[in-house]
């Protein structure tokens, strides 16, 4: 029996990954189980509901699982066969079939292009190239039982490798793959569980990863940021790191003398980082340009204080921030905080339930001085002008009151509305506007409606609460436009350099702050 157990230990070291049907697990115990004949493997399943216990059987602990029902015992004979990367790649790519180009690579291309439809031109040519093993530039063997490298030195042109959902379980295996592939720069290890490398292993294995630039560790079971930083010592030249769907929660400041010296892209999508204070701990990543924080449950954006006329010395290169599907409850405050970032140009964010995209985008554009794109839509000069003018008018009275109350009040106002002093410089003091909003307003206003093509004008008294759609109907009838719905905008009588589009038919003139003697342009 001892010989059998030793043989099982040889084939299934602790930490080895196995797969039975569609279920992945990790070997946590090898040996006898009291009251049961033979050798058993104690397995912790990735699916916490797949097992029957937590490693305790009949009151005796054999191993420990992270969830109460993730553990079970199986016979070694139930474990299926494994394969080398070489064998799996040859089987997948040398069986040439022009109708069966590697679908996983197409899926990766779709994801990278963020496209719902991906057309491949010249499929037969691609399939033939894939069938020439030594010419392969991209290989995907996802969901295969790969747990060793094999002989890979023929793959001198390989740049991209997908070994997600395999049985690779330690960094020695990954290093034995990488050191045979001198052109490898992109590596996908998603949905594997790898044993944390020791300090001595890192020193030994690190040279194998020096050419690596992009690595994806999505859903790899990380739960401690310290483990991420320890593992990152293996990849000194990494520029892009994916950690999606790892339950991290807490972060810590990075020692950039040791790791992430060149990191430009970091994906923390769905990692349970709910507190933005944790995100701020990564502010010393001076090369970081893109940060993905989608679906983390973030409710509030809070950054360290700084002078309203200054930017923070953190995230100094960050240009793109993805906050989609986070329940941020105060958009105005969030955008005011994000204005502290010195290089932020692209922002993706989901509107609050009580808001909509147009309102959210308007607040973002007016509150973040350098913003060029919101949810991938480029901000036009006209949109920026309209958004800034809305904010300029909205806080005009508050600005004037703070100005009269003294420096402390003005400083506090500017702290809460960082871009407002810039708007005052751009559009002038709102002093002339304040009396208008303080006096009782009539329900009717006189506006001048001008047809830009013909030059014809129409002086008309209209209700403040008239909708843009109703006004369009009146204009079509007055100017005999024969069914062609006109596009409208207006010029503020006090500030004729500002042109504000009336681009939502359901909104009222009052919503757009159209006032007495303003001019509506018919385009």
**Residue 481 main-chain phi, psi, to 5 deg:** -90, 0
Total residues belonging to the chain: 523
Q: What are 165-214's pLDDT values in tens digits? A: 999 999 999 999 999 999 999 999 999 999 999 999 999 999 999 999 99
Answer whether residue 19 shows pLDDT above 60: yes
Question: Pick from 40, 41, 67, 71: which is nearest to 53 by CA?
Answer: 71
Question: Which pLDDT score, from 0 to 100, does residue 222 have?
Answer: 96
| Three-class DSSP labels, 348-377 | EECCCCCCCHHHHHHHHHHHCCCCCEECCE
What mean pLDDT value characterizes the chain?
88
DSSP-derived pairing of the beta strands 36-45 and 240-242: unpaired
Question: Which pLDDT score, from 0 to 100, does residue 433 have?
Answer: 66
Q: Is 35 left (phi over 0), alpha (psi -120 to 50) or beta?
A: left
**Angle, CA of 66, 67 and 72, to the nearest 5°:** 95
At 80, is the pLDDT very low, low, confident or very high (cuts 50, 70, 90)? confident
CB 354 within 8 A of CB 332: no
The DSSP call for residue 487 is: P
**Residues near 220 by beta carbon (within 8 Å), at least 6 away in sequence:** 189, 190, 191, 192, 193, 194, 243, 246
- Report how far Cα 22 is from the mean position of its chain's Cα atoms: 29
Separation CA 19–CA 160 (nearest Å): 25
Q: What are 420-440's pLDDT values in tens digits? A: 999 999 888 887 666 555 555
Answer whether residue 329 shows pLDDT above 60: yes
Q: What percent of the chain has pLDDT over 70?
A: 89
| Helix ranges, 20-163 (H) | 85-93, 103-113, 123-131
Answer whether residue 246 shows pLDDT above 70: yes
Look-up of token digits 């009222």:
508
Instruction: List the structure tokens of 39.
Output: 């050798």
The DSSP call for residue 467 is: B
Question: Looking at 87-96, 325-334, 365-374, 380-389, which range is the least confident one?
Answer: 87-96
At 104, is the pLDDT very low, low, confident or very high (cuts 50, 70, 90)? low
Instruction: List the structure tokens of 387.
Output: 């958004």
Separation CA 502–CA 377 (nearest Å): 19
The DSSP call for residue 431 is: G
Answer whether residue 147 shows pLDDT above 70: yes
DSSP string, 288-303: --EEE-TTS-------
Instruction: List the structure tokens of 430.
Output: 């709102």
At 496, is the pLDDT very low, low, confident or very high (cuts 50, 70, 90)? confident
Q: What are 154-163's pLDDT values in tens digits? A: 999 999 999 9
Cross-strand bridge partners of residue 291 = 266, 321
Average pLDDT over residues 260-267: 98
Separation CA 270–CA 112 (nearest Å): 18
Question: Which pLDDT score, from 0 to 100, does residue 481 have?
Answer: 85
Separation CA 353–CA 355 (nearest Å): 5
At 114, is the pLDDT very low, low, confident or very high (cuts 50, 70, 90)? very low
State how far the alpha carbon of 211 is from the alpha carbons of 88, 179, 214, in Å. Answer: 23, 9, 10
Look-up of token digits 């939502």:
504
């Amino acid at each position: 029996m001892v010989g059998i157990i030793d043989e099982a230990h040889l084939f299934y070291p602790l930490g080895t990954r196995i797969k039975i049907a569609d279920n992945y697990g990790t070997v946590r115990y090898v040996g006898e189980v009291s009251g049961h004949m033979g050798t058993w493997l104690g397995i912790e399943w990735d699916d916490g509901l797949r097992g029957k216990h937590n490693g305790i059987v009949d009151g005796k602990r054999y191993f420990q699982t992270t969830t109460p029902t993730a553990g079970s015992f199986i016979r070694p004979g139930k474990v299926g066969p494994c394969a080398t990367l070489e064998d799996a790649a040859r089987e997948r790519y040398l069986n040439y079939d022009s109708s069966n180009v590697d679908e996983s690579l197409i899926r990766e291309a779709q994801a990278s292009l963020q496209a719902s439809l991906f057309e491949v031109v010249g499929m037969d040519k691609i399939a033939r190239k894939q069938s020439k093993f030594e010419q392969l530039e991209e290989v995907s063997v996802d969901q295969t039982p790969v747990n060793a490298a094999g002989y890979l030195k023929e793959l001198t042109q390989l740049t991209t490798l997908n070994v997600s959902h395999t049985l690779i379980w330690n960094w020695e295996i990954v290093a034995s793959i990488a050191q045979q592939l001198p052109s490898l720069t992109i590596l996908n290890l998603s949905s594997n569980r790898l044993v944390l490398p020791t300090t001595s292993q890192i020193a030994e294995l690190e040279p194998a990863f020096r050419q690596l630039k992009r690595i994806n560790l999505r859903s790899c079971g990380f739960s401690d940021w310290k483990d991420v930083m320890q593992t990152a010592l293996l990849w000194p030249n990494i520029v892009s790191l994916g950690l999606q769907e790892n339950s991290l929660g807490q972060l810590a400041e990075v020692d950039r003398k040791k790791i992430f010296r060149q990191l430009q892209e970091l994906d923390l999508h769905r990692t349970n980082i709910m507190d933005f204070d944790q995100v701020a701990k990564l502010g010393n990543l001076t090369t970081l340009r893109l940060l993905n924080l989608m679906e983390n449950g973030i409710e509030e954006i809070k950054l360290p204080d700084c002078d309203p006329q200054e930017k923070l010395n953190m995230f100094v290169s960050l240009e793109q921030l993805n906050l989609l599907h986070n329940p941020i409850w105060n958009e105005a405050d969030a955008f005011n905080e994000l204005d502290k970032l010195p290089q932020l140009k692209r922002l993706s964010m989901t509107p609050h339930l009580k808001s909509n995209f147009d309102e959210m985008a308007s607040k973002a554009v007016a509150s973040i001085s350098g913003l060029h794109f919101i949810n991938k839509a480029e901000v036009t000069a006209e949109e920026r002008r309209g958004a800034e003018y809305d904010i300029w008018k909205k806080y005009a009275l508050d600005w004037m009151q703070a100005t009269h109350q003294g420096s402390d009040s003005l400083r506090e106002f500017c702290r809460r509305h960082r871009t407002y002093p810039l708007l005052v410089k751009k559009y002038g003091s709102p002093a002339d506007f304040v009396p208008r909003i303080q006096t009782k307003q009539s329900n009717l206003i006189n506006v001048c409606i001008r047809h830009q093509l013909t030059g014809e004008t129409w002086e008309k008294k209209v209700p403040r609460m008239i909708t843009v759609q109703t006004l369009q109907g009146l204009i079509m009838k007055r100017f005999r436009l024969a069914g062609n719905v006109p596009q409208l905008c207006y010029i503020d009588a006090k500030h004729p350099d500002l042109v504000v589009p009336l681009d939502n038919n359901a909104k009222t003139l009052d919503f757009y702050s159209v006032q007495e003697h303003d001019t509506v342009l018919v385009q």
